[in-house]
Amino acid sequence: MSEPITYLVDNNAVAFGILALILGIVFYSSNSNKPYFKKFYTVVPALLLCYFIPSLLHTFYIVPFDYACTDILNGAVDGGAKVLAECRASDDPSDTTIGSIGADLYYVASRFLLPASLILLTLSIDFKRIRALGSKAVIMFLTGTVGIVIGGPIALLVMSVINPEVVAGDVWRGMTTVAGSWIGGGANQAAMKEIYEVSGGIFSSMIAVDVIMANIWMAVLLYMAARSKELDAKSGADTSAIEDLKLTVEKFNKENERIPNLNDLMLMVAIAFGATAFGHLVADTLAPFITEHWPAAKEYSLTSKFFWLIVTVTTLGLFFSTTKLRNFEAAGASKLGSVFIYILVATIGLHMDISAIVKNPWLFVIGAIWISVHAILMLVVAKIIKAPIFFLAVGSQANVGGAASAPVVASAFHPSLAPVGVLLAVLGYALGTYMAWFCGQILMSIAGAS
């Protein structure tokens, strides 16, 4: 009989502090002017480290992450009353504490910080500025979204012919989390995990596919950015709108950006968590009602409390963006939202099994087919409408990389264009929940038919 594994950390506060320190070190070093850090981060994206380093905490027995308890308590698997009780921290049925440090942190991040971040990130959507980007920018962004939505099902169909065993079982569920990440970001990824009840083991493998494939594609986009003038000249694309956009963005930022005071921060926290509370209230009311009256709606995730939580806060964020509340963006609403997102990313990293690359190499073939469909569609549409490489690259990265890396690709063209990447990525956060859910429905249909 094997000896039980002993982990170094058995305290939530210590584990959370370690994650915070990791994020702090990554951000400090990635923004350092020291040559060796600059060289390192031109090869290794900071976002990759925010996933990868926390994964080492679980891999090397520092912080525990109990996949079984997480899946049982989140409703992904039925472990029975006895196992459910063992997963709780006490015998009190009202105590919903998860019996694993890593799972505890993920639960808090996904239920509180994730919806709050969605409010703050969608709050900054300016539909007028999106229209000002021109139709080609929006067309390329939406093309990228469509590429992800159809790319997953195509990859699933192709792999079911090449190697059916790879896509057997609940692999399609794991693919919904990649769709969430590649259309919106970490928040949408976590949302799909809960909505489609993705088990910990599959989720772990899919995180590796998501992160590695997304960063390979980002490297391709940065290479294209370096040759953008040459590529635009060959395609005959008109880049005058981009030059005008540089001046417009610079002027807007100078006129509106301000240093947030305590009042700003407290009001943003009130808006974010107040909306989160309302989202939970709606979810706690709607999900049981639908379960009782339309149990068949479970096939469309309509009986999931988490589904209604995410849909409610996303919709609220979109509504708030049309009111005076959107002015909080000038005080850094999206930056505060990004803080919550990176904490979520670090807790998601605790799921990641770095040995998945060796264990499930075929899953990376699925990821490669998926991202290739997205890339081919983007290139074809860009050629047809003669869109500048900037719109192709930023439209793609706003989907695949989200707000964390879209500004990086945008600034590769010009530093003043970084906000354009954020703007389109925020639109991705808004669409991510809806479109990733739709992609999941297609994946489920294909998996059920095969």
Domain ranges (residues) in the chain: 125-199+214-336+354-449
The pLDDT of residue 97: 37
pLDDT the model gives residue 284: 93
Average pLDDT, the chain: 79
Angle at 200 between CA 290 and CA 91, to 5 degrees: 70
Residues belonging to the chain: 450
| pLDDT of amino acid 129 | 67
Tens-digit pLDDT profile for residues 209-250: 887 888 788 778 877 887 888 888 888 887 776 777 667 666
Residue 248: per-residue pLDDT: 67
Query: Has this prediction a pTM greater than 0.85?
Result: no
Q: Provide the pLDDT for residue 84.
A: 40
**Above pLDDT 90, what percent of the chain?**
22
Determine the residue type at 191: A
Q: What's the rounded Cα separation, in Å, for the pair 374 and 145?
A: 8
**Greater pLDDT, 320 or 239:** 320
Answer whether residue 4 shows pLDDT above 60.
Answer: no
Q: Check whether 81 has a pLDDT greater than 60.
A: no
Q: Which residue has the higher pLDDT, 290 or 191?
A: 290
Instruction: Convert the pLDDT of each residue in 83-126 to its tens digit.
Output: 344 444 433 333 333 345 666 787 888 889 988 988 887 786 76
User: Residues of 416-429 as b/e, b for ≥16 C-beta within 10 angstroms?
Assistant: bbbbbbbbbbbbbb
pLDDT bracket for residue 280 (50, 70, 90): very high
Structure confidence at residue 24 (pLDDT): 96
Residue 95 CB burial class (10 angstroms; 0-12, 13-18, ≥19): exposed
pLDDT at 273: 97
For residue 326, with 0-12 CB atoms within 10 Å meaning exposed, 13-18 middle and 19 or more buried, which class applies? middle
Query: CA angle 414-417-422, nearest 5°?
Result: 135
Confidence of residue 265 (pLDDT cuts 50, 70, 90): very high
**How far, CA to CA in Å, does 207 sit from each of 51, 257, 270?**
9, 35, 32
d(CA 417, CA 250): 8
**pLDDT digits 0-9 by tens, 362-416:** 888 999 999 999 999 999 999 999 888 888 988 898 888 765 567 667 766 765 5
Name residues whose C-beta falls within 8 Å of residue 48's C-beta, 6 or more positions apart in sequence. 211, 215
What would the pLDDT profile of 283-294 be if each residue is shown by its tens digit? 999 989 998 888
- Both tokens of 93, joined, read 């049925």
Provide the β-strand partners of residue 98: 88
**DSSP type of residue 102:** H
Residue 88's φ and ψ, nearest 5 degrees, are -80, 160
| Greater pLDDT, 351 or 4 | 351
Output 445 or 256, whichever has higher pLDDT.
445
